[in-house]
Structure 1
């Protein structure tokens, strides 16, 4: 009986996860194509400059990107309860919260742009990174709205539209990237800044397309027509109460990797470029794993709305099974094709030699990375956010970074030492999040939550 239910859940989760994964992959591949084109067309110094700017911009955006992911499980819960009016109010309130994030995080981004010297990078990196960073900070605003709108299509198990728009955006980004970087007969080459402007234009296009689809599509119009944009203080506060710690989970992990980028800059431009390539490859598989994580959170949220203890546990375990299978395959592919992957990014043997051991470590933390991101997703489906936030903070900032610093700079392992520290942090986070899910989904714990009406 359990095997049949588990197989059915696997199929349902895969069906939901695949378009989410493709959409997630499309978003991260925009960064990959930026790095490939910058590395190939402009060389290792612009690649390093774009790498640190992308890391800082992504770090700031992580508070909103990770935070707004709490909305999809809320959507699936309302949908399971057949609460259409609640969905409309949630949609409007989500847009208000996205506006708040846009203002606050753009202000934070401006501070980073105006004080770029804080990051103590080589002079040649400082000269090119700051303007690139500011354009990316502004491009985050349409990204926030796209991510927020995407939560509704995902939460309603209609993830294909976001997948199609993201795939289209990826193609658009590649074309615009090339012409803005290299120039045409009508405008001069923009070099590194051309890649940033291409990202800005692509994100605007994606947000507009998804908003228009919601407004006029028959699949969504009955949810999102005749809306009142009245500020619902209670619901906005509820979303903020969940999204701020939810975003902090994502922030603590991304911040650890972003600070690792800064430490790489302390070593050399070559180490910085090598790290950027290796982390870009690892980020690709990670963002695909987040698709499984989001699908798992949605399925757990839907089972929660149906008050089904067996459904909650089955959805969670199915997500764990899928991510371990996927990340295991990713680990093997990275180990088998490491040279080919690195050669795709840059034709610089010094950088490739420096990146090879980093990529080997990245291969081994695939399993840990997938395990911990699914743990965050399934716990988010239970609206369990505060304790996982503490777990991620301790794992990355009390273990991973200090350990990486000591291994890298005190024990002389340099770049590899920093990556070993990150691996240990990922592993600890994954183990403790899994233990948390097991504890919360025991029969006694779920009965207490159902009786008390805990959200």
Structure 2
């Protein structure tokens, strides 16, 4: 298989993943836009809930992601029994962890009045936070089903269902937030109701597809033999899932801390920072899709013991990520003067945001390549050292460098973004170096 054919095969898996990721971004945009019409305090309440949920959310996502490489490896080994076994244990683990996370979020809701927030904002946030916390349960169950299908390289299923749920979520927001079609006017809480219902229906629909569609029949037909809870399988999933969750937590936490530091600089830098971060987060969805697709294909080759394909997939995915990073950087530079106007008309915010988008452009290259590096390492079940690299990159380099440049050398918000770029570049180099260094050992063993 040539490099181009390998790239096409990875791209075919990546495109549905990218569209699914963008759908999740759209969920947040719709909720924010509708809540924003209610008033600035309701919007502040939504922002508070998003920040509080950030860590539980990424923990849930990280835990369910362990299912994908394990299923892909089992599929590569032509072992449907193991893949089916991982699905059942994955469903169980996701349900249990989802309940635990929901209860933790519920407990946190009682402390909102003591977080230094506006009393009205804290009051508006409480019930919204609670229902969004419980929506993590169906989200994780959906994630388990989705990642099972992804591991078998059927990535279109979850994409179609996710995209179909988007207008449903928007419709339910319209009904519950504003009180249409005979519904009471729930305001902010209505957005939480809409998300909860959408996630429940999405989880049920995905589970039905996995259980009933002929594509998955070879795996589901083995349920009598394979569907047994197993401590070793739980340990295997947690061995990948916990480091993956920690990676996401450290990233989310670093961006949260950086956002707080930007707030020390004033409202204008904070607004400009949010604009640049929104743009970078959107383009990152494609990088994440490539990362997930590369991880799936590497796991499959790893399971098959096909060292040649594993090396080819790894190299083509890394090159693809680098090229995408450069393309995203060029587009951000080209349109950096115009993008801020989609968020604000304030001349000073636009000026600062345009500067930050130059750093965000450089950020694209490092962000894309480090995401690919994480995915490739996860594909061969290498997660511990990559987690340490990510910790050093964000917390040992990115945040300290950003703080020093911003406040000691008086570079302001630009200094914080230079810290981002420095940390991510360090992570990208180390992660990709580790994968390709270990690749020779892995290929030799296969």
Cα separation, 2, equivalents of 1:86 and 1:75: 8
Could you tell me whether the CA contact under 8 Å between 2:60 and 2:136 is conserved in 1? no
Q: Tell me the distance in 2 between the aligned counterparts of 1:56 and 1:163.
A: 27
- On the 8 A contact 2:81/2:222 being kept in 1, the answer is no
Aligned to 2:96: 100
- The answer to whether 1:192 aligns with 2:192 is no
User: Is this contact kept in 2: 1:119–1:262, CA < 8 A?
Assistant: no
- Whether contact under 8 Å (1:71, 1:239) holds in the other structure is yes
Please give the alpha-carbon distance, in whole angstroms, between the structure 1 residues aligned to 2:387 and 2:97: 19
Residue 430 (structure 1) shift: 0.6
Could you tell which deviates more after superposition, 319-328 or 353-362? 353-362
**1:82-93 to 2 correspondences below 5 Å:** 82-93=78-89
Secondary structure of residue in 2 paired with 1:186 = coil
Residues 181, 261 of structure 1: alpha-carbon distance in 2 compared, 3 angstrom cutoff: farther
Q: Which residue of 1 aligns with 2:154?
A: 158
Q: Look up the match of 2:359.
A: 361
In structure 2, how many angstroms separate the alpha carbons of the residues matched to 1:84 and 1:162?
20
1:43 and 1:440, CA in 2 relative to 1: closer, same or farther beyond 3 A?
farther
* SS in structure 2 at match of 1:158: coil
Q: Check the 8 A contact 2:174/2:180 in 1, yes or no.
A: no
Distance in 1 (CA, whole Å) between partners of 2:56 and 2:366 is: 24
CA–CA distance in 2 between the matches of 1:317 and 1:112? Answer: 44
Partner deviation per Cα, 1:60-99 (whole Å, 9 max, x = no partner): 2212212322221211111121111111111111112112
Q: Which has the higher contact order (CA 8 A, sep 6+)?
A: 1
- Render the CA deviation track for 1:25-55: whole Å, top value 9, x for unaligned: 212221233334444x246664454334223
C-alpha contact 1:56 1:258 (8 A) present in aligned 2:
no
The equivalent of 1:344 in structure 2 is: 342
Report matched runs for 1:409-424 at 5 Å: 409-424=407-422
Cα 1:58/1:429, change in 2 over 3 Å: same
Corresponding residue number in structure 2 for 1:211: 207
Q: 1:182 to 1:349 in 2, by over 3 A?
A: farther
Gaps of 5+ in 1: 451-455
| Cα shift at 1:397 | 1.3
Q: Contact between 1:300 and 1:378, CA under 8 Å: does it hold in 2? A: yes
Structure 1 residue 127, shift from structure 2 partner: 5.2
Deviation at 1:20, TM superposition (A): 1.4
1:408 matched to 2:409: no
- C-alpha change, 1:188 and 1:445, in structure 2 (3 Å) is closer
Q: For the structure 1 residues 114 and 211, does the alpha-carbon distance in structure 2 shift closer, same or farther, using more than 3 Å as the test?
A: same
Q: Please, what is the CA RMSD of the aligned residues? A: 2.6
Q: For residues 204 and 264 of structure 2, what CA distance do their matches in structure 1 show?
A: 40
Counterpart secondary structure, 1:54: helix
1:8 to 5, 15, 27: 5
What aligned pairs does 1:106-125 form with structure 2 within 5 A after superposition?
106-116=102-112, 120=116
Q: Which residue of 2 aligns with 1:53?
A: 49
Q: Aligned partners of 1:132 and 1:262: how far apart in 2?
A: 23
Offset at 1:349?
5.5
Instruction: Give TM-score scaled by structure 1 length.
Output: 0.88
Say if 2:113 and 2:123, in contact at 8 Å, map to a contact too. Answer: no
In structure 2, do the counterparts of structure 1 residues 185 and 83 end up closer, same or farther at CA, with 3 Å as the change threshold? closer
In structure 2, the residue matched to 1:291 is 289
Query: Corresponding residue for 1:453?
Result: none
The 1:119–1:426 alpha-carbon spacing in structure 2 relative to 1, beyond 3 Å, is farther
CA change 1:122–1:317 in 2 (3 A) is farther
TM-score (norm. length: structure 2): 0.90
Q: Tell me, yes or no, if the aligned pair for 1:44 and 1:273 is still in contact at 8 Å.
A: no
Residue correspondence of structure 1 range 56-71 to structure 2 within 5 A: 56-71=52-67
**1:180 equivalent in structure 2:** 176
Cα distance 1:333–1:420, how it changes in 2: closer, same or farther (>3 A)? same
Retained in 1: the 8 A contact 2:66–2:238?
A: no
Residue 428 of structure 1, CA deviation: 1.0
User: Which residue number corresponds to residue 138 of structure 1?
Assistant: 134
Number of residue equivalences: 444
8 A Cα contact 1:155 1:298, kept in partner: yes
Please state if 1:397 is matched with 2:395: yes
5 Å-filtered alignment, 1:243-322, equals 243-268=241-266, 271-322=269-320
Aligned partners of 1:153 and 1:159 also within 8 Å: yes
- Aligned match of 1:387 in 376, 385, 398? 385
Asked if the contact 1:47–1:273 (Cα under 8 Å) also holds between the matched residues in 2, the reply is no
CA offset at residue 373 of structure 1? 0.7
Instruction: List runs of 5+ in structure 2 lacking aligned partners.
Output: none
Distance 1:121 1:263, change over 3 A: farther
* Residue 27 (structure 2) aligns with: 30
Cα distance, 1:122 vs structure 2: 6.1
Task: Name the CA shift for 1:174/1:416 in 2 (closer, same or farther; >3 Å).
Answer: farther
